[in-house]
Amino acid sequence: MRIYFCIICLLMMACNNNNKTQEASTPQQDSISIEQKQQDIEAHPDSIILKENLIQEYREKGNYSKALMLVNSYLQTDSLNARLWSIKATLHFENNDTIQSINAYEAALQLAPATSDMIALGILYAVTQNIQSLSLADAIIKKDKLKAERQALFIKGLYHSNIGEKKEAIAYFNQCIQLSYTFMEAYREKALCLMDMKAYDQAIYTLTKAVTIQNNYEEGYYYLGQCYEMMNKKSNAIDAYQKALLYSPDYVEAEEALSRLSN
């Protein structure tokens, strides 16, 4: 089971997560920042935004126990807040607790059927081989076909891939690509299915197309390296892994593969 698929969920959620560049802070500055946020919440106890900001402060530091403690305390007095349940689900997922993440998403959706939460839960269902992913994907299409059809088809593809039905999965990933030719995750999952089927030439064709469309797609290069390794094309594999590291220097798997081949 490849849980990393769920990164697509995290890109669609917001736990007040923005892309602003932040300067490095000192422990003293961090303490002041947290203290100020706590004071702001005390002054405005009904502000969900302020609470999200404080949770995010701990999340960015990797302090998930504290972040979860906060969101659980807020839910004690605001248990019908779907947003808080969604944040809780995100934190549990990032803290490698898939079961609790699923439970929190289910709670969020009982309160408000947000498309982003439906997609996130659908992917978690799919990678845990839960057939409910298929009906949830249908619900996503019914609710928001124009904006979310490709994600719904992706969920169906993931489910079939994870239960071993690779040809069925590829058919769904092809539909995703037809709807959005820049949907990198669909190329990747299609290639992984082909690799499982030992159709390495077809997988290389798929991944080459992906990295041609997005030339900094590090996962595409990594899996190209995997294909070339399986075909005993060592120099091609080394070149692919080097490109993966060029675009993502902290790509541990690519670094380990390159080291293995170099030795």
Four-CA torsion 105, 106, 108, 113, nearest 10 degrees? 110
Residue from 113, 186, 109, 177 nearest 143 by CA: 113
**Structure confidence at residue 27 (pLDDT):** 52
Superfamily of domain 198-263: Tetratricopeptide repeat domain (1.25.40.10)
**Structure confidence at residue 10 (pLDDT):** 41
pLDDT in tens, 155-183: 999 999 999 999 999 999 999 999 999 99
Query: What integer is the mean pLDDT of 224-250?
Result: 97
Work out the pLDDT band at 197, boundaries 50, 70, 90: very high
Work out the pLDDT band at 262, boundaries 50, 70, 90: confident
Phi, psi dihedrals of residue 68, rounded to the nearest 5° = -70, -35
Sorted by where each begins, the domain ranges of the chain are 198-263
pLDDT in tens, 18-66: 433 344 455 554 555 778 878 888 788 778 888 888 999 889 899 999 9
Q: pTM to 2 decimals?
A: 0.85
Residue 128 DSSP SS3: coil
Angle between helices 115-127 and 98-111 (to 10 degrees): 150
Mean pLDDT for the chain overall:
88
Question: Rounded to an integer, what is the distance from CA 255 to the centroid of its chain?
Answer: 22
Question: Rounded to an integer, what is the distance from CA 155 to the centroid of its chain?
Answer: 12
Classify burial at 53, counting beta carbons within 10 Å of its beta carbon; exposed 0-12, middle 13-18, buried 19 or more.
middle
